[in-house]
Structure 1
């Protein structure tokens, strides 16, 4: 009777680990990440490069509602109907 040529492959995968093998940890322990240190700066370091804040509130501007009535936006379907 012939011996199975793949029997040694199956036996290799089912073999016990070497006695010299020492299993290690799955993932090494790491220290928790440290928080990023952001120093407190009481005033601007480079005031000539940073524009001052505007005191104007955009809500104070008058609303211009007349622009909506003057412009008519036509879609592609409406433009086709006008050409006929």
Structure 2
């Protein structure tokens, strides 16, 4: 006989529960008064990216070219 403390697990259903009704998602404009008409939309012209600002080169301790032989002589 099973133990009096035995708790049976949930039984497996014979059939899977029915899936919910599929409703296709159709996005709606949230604020249509702020959306310009398609013929008034201007495409941005491609422009080159700006040169990245490098604060490292502006720092006083920056060494543009490293010369290991010259640096060793200075350290002695």
Would you call these one fold, judging by a TM-score over 0.5? Answer: no
TM-score by length of 2: 0.32
Q: Give the structure, 1 or 2, with the largest relative contact order (CA under 8 Å, sep 6 or more).
A: 2
TM-score by length of 1: 0.31
